[in-house]
């Protein structure tokens, strides 16, 4: 009877994991329903953080279940993962983006272009464009600054506004419409992660790590942030590189950098050896394939007549002139004598050193990409919670406890929203920043220490007669 019972256990493991995932999916949906029930999250930050953190507990349990070693899960698990992911997303989609006013900025820039303005030269506060002010005007962020977004995103804003104004004349409804294109692109990110898992010969249930992430669901569907475009192109670039489709990889990565600048930091990864499904090309052929970037850049920049370069002044502010939810940057700034320019230079050198080490030592290209992005965010002067979505797709390949915990604790950065909504004051409290980063940095340090500590090997068996084999 004991032997029969023992043999039956492996057959039950997939069923047990499936039932655990069902329970976690139900708890996650309950959390998202509770978040949706709060309405405008700008005035409900404490309650939002409570529900968000509870949802993250269910999510982390689901990740643990999906990553358990054992027999493959039944095919129904993939259907469950996708079905639950869609339910989560459409639950929060109708919400007002109360934690961020980015949607109002997207609409203003689309409307500006429809009126003949150049988003890289015109700021919302410019008197010349005062005729564009309507009831969404108070929510337009950084009215003194021109655009910092890439030309590909600016083209998407113009197209989205042209569609929105044909559907409705209501400015608020038009603003909310800007969620939909980026939400659709985010579903494409899920498909691209599945493709990358398949090329990497990893279990398909790992897709859950990305699709069920509360960070991704809230930031890209409830708040409507635009990061899904760059994320999709980055994952497609990595998938194309793994399959040795180098021109396609360069085209996708160029598109990602034309949406947001940070993917440009991954360009050197296409020059070095990585896993691939086809023949492995030489460094020279990889470099030669990069020619495809030139016409793509020209096509994207041409509508703005070279004014894209004017965004450099705004980017300089993001690089060190402003601080928000930073971790290591504060120490680097103090080390630099509170000189933002010197701190920005040191951040660049530190990141380049980390990235160079990763380019040559990481086992796989995707692994180097993950930690390059993480290093960039840890060193950055600004790290808004939705920036963590940049590395979320790669956690499906390399689930890391510290990074998964970071996606849960990043919501603490929204403690500033309450005073900002009531008083118009953006003031961070060091307590919340320590609460977010101390556990994450401690886990990362422990993991690095474990990897650097040599493992003890078991003593060889003693041969008969008491002598150890040589």
The average pLDDT across 305-310 equals: 69
Contact of 81 with 207, CB cutoff 8 Å: yes
In our burial notation (b when 16+ CB lie closer than 10 A, e otherwise), range 162-177 reads eebbeeeeebbebbbb
SS3 324: strand
Q: Could you tell me the two tokens for 307?
A: 């004014």
Q: Give the dihedral sign, CA 419/421/424/426.
A: positive
pLDDT band at 281; cut points 50, 70, 90: low
pLDDT of residue 185: 97
The average pLDDT across 179-186 equals: 96
Contact of 32 with 86, CB cutoff 8 Å: no
Q: How many residues belong to the chain?
A: 470
Beta strands in 54-195 (DSSP E): none
- What mean pLDDT, rounded, does the chain reach? 87
Q: Could you tell me the two tokens for 237?
A: 């670039």
pLDDT of residue 68: 82
Contacts of 36 (CB under 8 A, 6+ apart): 91, 92, 94, 95, 222
pLDDT of residue 125: 93
- The DSSP secondary structure of 186-231, one letter per residue, reads HHHHHHHHHHHHHHTT--GGGHHHHHT-HHHHIIIIIS--TTHHHH
Report which DSSP code applies to 460.
Answer: P
Contact of 198 with 69, CB cutoff 8 Å: no
- Highest mean pLDDT, choosing among 215-224, 283-292, 329-338: 215-224
Q: Please state, in angstroms and as integers, the Cα–Cα distance from residue 32 to each residue in 78, 81, 84, following that order.
A: 21, 16, 12
Q: Which residue did the predictor score with more confidence, 16 or 401?
A: 401
pLDDT of residue 142: 85
Contact of 215 with 196, CB cutoff 8 Å: no
The average pLDDT across 212-230 equals: 97
Listed residue (413, 412, 391) closest to 402, CA to CA? 391
Q: Domains of the chain: which residue ranges?
A: 1-96
The average pLDDT across 67-77 equals: 77
Share of the chain above pLDDT 70, in %: 86
pLDDT above 80 for 308: no
Cα(432)–Cα(409) distance, rounded to whole angstroms?
Answer: 10
pLDDT above 70 for 1: no
Residue found by looking up tokens 């920005």 in the block:
344
pLDDT band at 195; cut points 50, 70, 90: very high
Q: Which residue did the predictor score with more confidence, 274 or 109?
A: 109
Q: What are phi and psi of 105, to 5 degrees?
A: -70, -40
Contact of 409 with 436, CB cutoff 8 Å: yes
pLDDT above 90 for 426: no
pLDDT of residue 225: 96
Cα(27)–Cα(334) distance, rounded to whole angstroms?
Answer: 43
Cα(121)–Cα(307) distance, rounded to whole angstroms?
Answer: 7
Contacts of 387 (CB under 8 A, 6+ apart): 227, 377, 380
pLDDT band at 360; cut points 50, 70, 90: confident
């Amino acid at each position: 009877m004991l032997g029969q019972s023992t043999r039956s256990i492996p057959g039950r493991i997939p069923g047990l994991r499936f039932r655990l995932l069902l329970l976690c999916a139900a708890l996650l949906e309950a959390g998202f329903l509770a978040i949706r029930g709060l309405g405008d999250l700008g005035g409900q930050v404490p309650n939002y953080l409570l529900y968000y953190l509870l949802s993250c507990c269910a999510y982390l349990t689901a990740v643990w279940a999906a990553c358990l070693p054992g027999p493959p899960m039944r095919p129904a698990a993939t259907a469950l993962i996708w079905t639950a992911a869609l339910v989560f997303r459409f639950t929060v989609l109708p919400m007002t983006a109360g934690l961020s006013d980015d949607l109002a900025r997207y609409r203003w820039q689309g409307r500006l272009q429809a009126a003949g303005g150049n988003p890289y030269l015109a700021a919302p506060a410019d008197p010349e464009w005062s005729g564009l002010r309507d009831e969404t005007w108070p929510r337009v962020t950084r009215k003194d600054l021109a655009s910092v977004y890439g030309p590909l995103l600016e083209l998407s804003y113009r197209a989205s506004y042209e569609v929105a104004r044909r559907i409705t004349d209501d400015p608020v409804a038009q603003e909310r419409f800007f969620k939909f294109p980026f939400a659709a692109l985010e579903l494409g990110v899920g498909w691209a992660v599945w493709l990358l898992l398949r090329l990497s010969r990893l279990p398909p249930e790992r897709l859950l790590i990305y699709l069920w992430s509360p960070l991704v669901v809230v930031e890209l569907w409830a708040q409507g942030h635009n990061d899904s475009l760059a994320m999709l192109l980055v994952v497609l670039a990595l998938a194309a590189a793994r399959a040795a489709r180098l021109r396609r990889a360069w085209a996708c990565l160029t598109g990602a950098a034309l949406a947001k600048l940070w993917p440009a930091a991954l360009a050197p990864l296409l020059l070095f050896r990585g896993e691939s499904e086809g023949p492995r090309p030489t460094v020279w052929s990889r470099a030669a394939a990069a020619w495809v970037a030139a016409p793509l850049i020209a096509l994207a920049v041409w509508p703005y007549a070279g004014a894209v370069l004017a965004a450099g002044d705004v980017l300089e502010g993001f690089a060190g002139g402003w601080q928000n939810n930073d971790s290591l940057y504060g120490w680097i700034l103090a080390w630099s004598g509170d000189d933002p320019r010197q701190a920005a230079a040191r951040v660049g050198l530190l990141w380049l050193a980390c990235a160079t080490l990763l380019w040559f030592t990481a086992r796989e290209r995707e692994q180097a990409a993950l930690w390059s992005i993480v290093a960039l965010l840890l060193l950055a002067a600004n790290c808004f919670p939705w920036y963590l979505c940049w590395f979320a797709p790669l956690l499906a390949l390399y689930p890391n406890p510290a990074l998964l915990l970071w996606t849960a604790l990043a919501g603490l950065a929204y403690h500033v929203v309450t005073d900002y909504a009531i008083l118009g004051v953006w003031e961070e409290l060091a307590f919340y920043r320590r609460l977010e980063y101390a556990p994450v940095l401690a886990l990362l340090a422990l993991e690095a220490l474990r990897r650097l500590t040599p493992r003890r090997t078991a003593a060889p068996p003693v041969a008969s007669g008491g002598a150890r084999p040589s």
